[in-house]
Structure 1
Amino acid sequence: MQAGEEPRHVLVVDDSRAQRQLVSMQLKRWGYRVSECDSGQAALDLCRAQNFDIILSDWMMPGMTGLDFCREFRALGREAYGYFILLTSKSEKTEIADGLEAGADDFLTKPVASNELRARLRAGERMLAMQAEVLAKNKVIVATLVELQKLYDSLDRDLIEARKLQQTLVRDRVRDCGWARVSLLLRNSGRVGGDLVGSFRVDEDRFVAYSIDVSGHGVASAMMTARLAGFLTGSAPEQNLAFGKGPDGSHVLLPPEVVVERFNRLMLDEIQAEQYFTMAFAVVDRVRGRLWLVQAGHPHPILIRADGRIEQLGQGGLPVGLLPEATFERQEFAIGPGDRLLLFSDGFTECPLPSGQDFGQEGLIESLRRSAHLSGADLLEALVWDLARQAGSDSFPDDVSGVVIDLLPQEAGQHPPVPLVAQKAQPFLDG
């Protein structure tokens, strides 16, 4: 043992007093601290009260044998390991196997040779040193895990609060403006996510709906969605990138392609984050019966006509925030009462199925056909349910979000206002 170290405590167990004294005298000469017992039961009772580093026990003793003592000693389950050496005249392989099975670490043949005893003790000390090192490292690991768990719990609480705040970005899941109803769905794959859906009214006859999917996952993406939501608020048109100042100083809606270009410049020139996002930005005008749409890398919006026909809209386009020279194209479609528009994130179409394929645009369309009779909010929930059914789990690998715009059928005798000035005027402020 090393100088300055506390001596190892050895318990010698033998029903022969002479044998105990002979072994104990050698151990004390080598610097060990020694205790003695004359029976297995007495040794076991002593081991219940204190720890011993090494135990030297005779095999053949009246009452409790050394083998039984070893078995009972291991059953105590003490944290501090005791190196157990059986002293025996037995040499048969089956008997040695019994000793190992009972928990013995080593064997010494009686009469015990001094040099062999010392060698076995040193082997035991090496084992105890390694075990102590492992225990010390385990304690460090456990302490570290406790600290990590505290940190995780703190972060998890923060993320739960962040999730609540993010959900407030979509306060009204269903918005009814009389002639149209907008239903929103936002379901994160984790505590927080990178999807954003929303809508706002421009005036009595127009409204805007959008669907955004920020690259990546987690807190950074969630923070980006919160920032983008601030630039698309209907309650503060002076902060909304979709509005510009008209000749009379009023806030006037910009063309959809200009809106997306403004977001592209914002991402590259001001925010300058290593992120980008895809977007579908739609303007619905009931007076003109028109839908204007820009698709910026987002999945193709789906238009369900009043007669049940399904059309995929858009031409793809580049994501927002990747290239400064990117341009975005506006598309125009006729739209009327009874039509339904669906904007959605790729959390639907790119969700993997057990077959190895993705849910896909076609899978979404088939799901839409089965649930087309449902209202907007119920339709979105049905799509999520069908996706979970086919995927075999409702824990999706990506955020799932969507917007359903229902142009409500006109009641008998009711006609939408068609002011001549509005028909002739430009629908957007010149960009």
Structure 2
Amino acid sequence: MIFRKGSALQTQRKGIPSEVTGAIQRVLVVDDSRAQLKMVETMVRRWGYEVLTAESGQAALDICRQLPPDLVLSDWMMPGMTGLEFCRHFRELQNEGYGYFILLTSKSEKGDIAEGLDAGADDFLTKPVNAPELRARITAGERIVSMERQLSEKNRQVSEAFEELREIHTAIDNDLRQARTIQQSLVPERMTEILTSRVSLLLRPCGHVGGDLVGMFKPGFGRLGLYNIDVSGHGITSAMVTARVAGYLSSSFPEQNIALERRFDRFYAMREPAETARMLNQRLSADPGVEEYLTLAYVAADLSSGRMRMVQAGHSPALLLHPDGSHRFIGDGGLPIGLVDEVSYDQHDFTMNSGDLLLLYSDGFTEAVMKNGEMLGEDGLVRIFRDSVRCGDGPDILEDMYWRFTSQMENADKLGDDVSAALLEFDVLKNSRGPN
């Protein structure tokens, strides 16, 4: 290994013009001919580059491991390790930046050039070396190295940005998973039995969290409040609205439940559903900055008599299925909650008989696109509801409905909307009559 003036191990160059600030600053010249080595070194140094020299491929490889060059000018035909072999080893080194490699050769056959390119050479220069041509080749190499380094820098920045986004995504994903757990806790009871009736709930958000909510509360003997809510939109904002509404219809804190009113300082009685909807609309309309609205189907049930009072505020109509398989839909629309400031709601009173089933459901069911390209619709809902009732009872009915529903969807792997349902099986537990 030979280090000429301006040692290869020096990190600061001396006597180098300040204008040389491009991508190529350090050049390694390799040639077993000392005369040729000196001539090329002198030319390159005159142009302002730091020059390292070596008289063999092995010596050049040792230099590259210590001080990776920006550009290599290597003779092809050398004893021991040829320039071609050196080029292959050079490409195998794990250097941060790209090194431009020019082979100096008297070879001109196309096969030789192809072999050099295959070994990793970027360019060729025939001997004897012509100074203007060598300068032009170095300048061309500088453009390539500059572009490569710019690309590498951009890739580094993209990788850093991607890693940062991945960390942010992981943090958001963890937060959403926790939010999903919290939202699921808003429905603590998925099934309960009251007197001889049974209530089951289903909630399947299309993402981590959703805008659907189902729930129930039991204010007294044989009394039941059952609701299904669908907040406009999806995701975190809708989920926050459902959490707020869940507090307004709390099953754990009756004093906070707007569907209940204190009587004689002794017990809580159920308000008329139409009045409950009106009060809920007042609460949501008064919230500043909240643009979301919701649809609601709410039933105040007397399970000792079968008397039902229902309000429908823009929600899908309730589905009443009789033991003989006949059915009817209850409800004719109404304005959603929180859409306008002052609104009154109609109330639907009806009676359930032994064995009747009442289903409250979100439009995530009926508006889902099936494999035939059409929405499930109300007829399709009735069909899968009947089929599921034949296969089980209680929560199994809703789970079977969901399975049948998703298996018929156009894209079964991803819900397009939140799906929720509340099921009341009236007077079906003949052998378990008693207090709730």
Contact 2:195 / 2:432 at 8 angstroms: preserved in 1?
no
Match of 1:384 in 2: 402
The answer for unaligned runs of 5 or more in structure 2 is 1-16
Alignment of 1:168 with 2:185, yes or no, is yes
Match of 1:53 in 2: 70
Match of 2:422 in 1: 403
Match of 1:263 in 2: 280
Contact 1:337 / 1:410 at 8 angstroms: preserved in 2?
no
Match of 1:422 in 2: none
Please state whether the residue corresponding to 1:192 is helix, strand or coil. coil
Find the partner of 1:108 among 120, 125, 141.
125
Q: Superposed, which structure 2 residues align to 1:241-320 within 5 Å?
A: 241-244=258-261, 251-320=268-337
Match of 2:88 in 1: 71
Aligned AA for 2:148?
A: Q
Find the partner of 1:123 among 128, 135, 140.
140
Residue 41 of structure 1: how far off its partner (Å)? 4.2
Distance 1:103 1:301, change over 3 A: farther
Aligned AA for 1:399?
A: D
Contact 1:286 / 1:336 at 8 angstroms: preserved in 2?
no
Q: Superposed, which structure 2 residues align to 1:314-353 within 5 Å?
A: 314-353=331-370
Distance 1:410 1:347, change over 3 A: closer
Find the partner of 1:360 among 359, 370, 377.
377
Residue 79 of structure 1: how far off its partner (Å)? 2.9
Residue 92 of structure 1: how far off its partner (Å)? 4.0
Residue 25 of structure 1: how far off its partner (Å)? 1.2
Contact 1:298 / 1:319 at 8 angstroms: preserved in 2?
yes
The farther-off stretch of 82-91 and 400-409 is 82-91
Distance 1:415 1:25, change over 3 A: closer
Contact 1:296 / 1:317 at 8 angstroms: preserved in 2?
yes
Residue 375 of structure 1: how far off its partner (Å)? 1.4
- Percent identity over paired residues: 46
Distance 1:15 1:31, change over 3 A: same
Find the partner of 2:198 among 172, 176, 181.
181
Please state whether the residue corresponding to 2:158 is helix, strand or coil. helix
Residue 14 of structure 1: how far off its partner (Å)? 2.3
The answer for unaligned runs of 5 or more in structure 1 is 417-431
Q: Distance in 2 between matches of 1:414 and 1:177?
A: 8
Q: Distance in 2 between matches of 1:40 and 1:174?
A: 80
Distance 1:59 1:9, change over 3 A: same
Residue 207 of structure 1: how far off its partner (Å)? 0.9
Residue 245 of structure 1: how far off its partner (Å)? 5.2
Q: Distance in 1 between matches of 2:86 and 2:370?
A: 59
Match of 2:11 in 1: none
CA displacement, residues 71-105 of structure 1 (integer Å, 9 cap, x when unaligned): 33323353311011122233444543443333222
Q: Distance in 1 between matches of 2:30 and 2:136?
A: 19
Q: Superposed, which structure 2 residues align to 1:21-100 within 5 Å?
A: 21-100=38-117
Q: Distance in 2 between matches of 1:92 and 1:327?
A: 93
Alignment of 1:136 with 2:153, yes or no, is yes
Aligned AA for 2:404?
A: D
Q: Distance in 1 between matches of 2:361 and 2:139?
A: 71
Contact 2:281 / 2:341 at 8 angstroms: preserved in 1?
yes
Q: Distance in 2 between matches of 1:231 and 1:413?
A: 32
Residue 394 of structure 1: how far off its partner (Å)? 4.1
Contact 2:30 / 2:56 at 8 angstroms: preserved in 1?
yes
Residue 274 of structure 1: how far off its partner (Å)? 1.2
Contact 1:301 / 1:343 at 8 angstroms: preserved in 2?
yes
Distance 1:150 1:204, change over 3 A: same
Q: Distance in 2 between matches of 1:44 and 1:165?
A: 62
Contact 1:348 / 1:359 at 8 angstroms: preserved in 2?
yes
Alignment of 1:206 with 2:223, yes or no, is yes
Match of 2:7 in 1: none
